[in-house]
Amino acid sequence: MALPFFAGNLSYLTFAATKYFRIKSDEFLKKTKMPLTKERKANIFKEFGGAETNTGSIEGQIAQLTERISQISEHLQKNKKDFSSHRGLMIMVGKRKSLLNYLQRHNLTGYRQLIEKLGIRK
């Protein structure tokens, strides 16, 4: 089966979307970008995990989930009926909660420093 001539051609898709939906190309590209860039993830793991490549650290994972949770919460304030994003948010909150429980059991001082630094608990 042959692919359409525009398959894989992002510039054509951008052009088509701007003509069809009557939106500016900048707006289209902003809506289609990834939520967390590689640079932002590297900064998060460098700040909380100790090194950019230490992606398995509990502190780095919690910080990354916190960043994503804040982005999705902001999205849901604008789009109240986006139920699939709401489900994803609940899954991320549960994952962060289980990681926080693990960190609290194994490293209480690290847990207290992390929640203070992230501003999660009051």
- Could you list the pLDDT tens digit for every one of the 122 residues in the chain? 555 555 555 555 555 555 565 555 555 545 544 578 889 999 999 999 888 888 899 999 999 999 999 999 999 999 999 999 999 999 999 999 999 999 999 999 999 999 999 999 85
Burial label for 1, CB within 10 Å (0-12, 13-18, 19+), is exposed
CB neighbours (10 Å) of residue 44?
A: 22
Q: Where in the chain are the domains?
A: 1-33, 37-118
Single pTM value for the model:
0.71
* Short-list 67, 96, 90, CA closest to 104: 96
Q: What is the CATH number of domain 37-118?
A: 1.10.287.10
DSSP-derived letter for residue 119 is T
Residues in the chain: 122
* Short-list 65, 58, 74, CA closest to 41: 65
The confidence score (pLDDT) of residue 6 equals 52
- The answer to whether residues 65 and 92 touch, using CB atoms and an 8 Å cutoff, is yes
DSSP-derived letter for residue 32 is T
Distance CA(96)–CA(16), nearest Å, equals 39
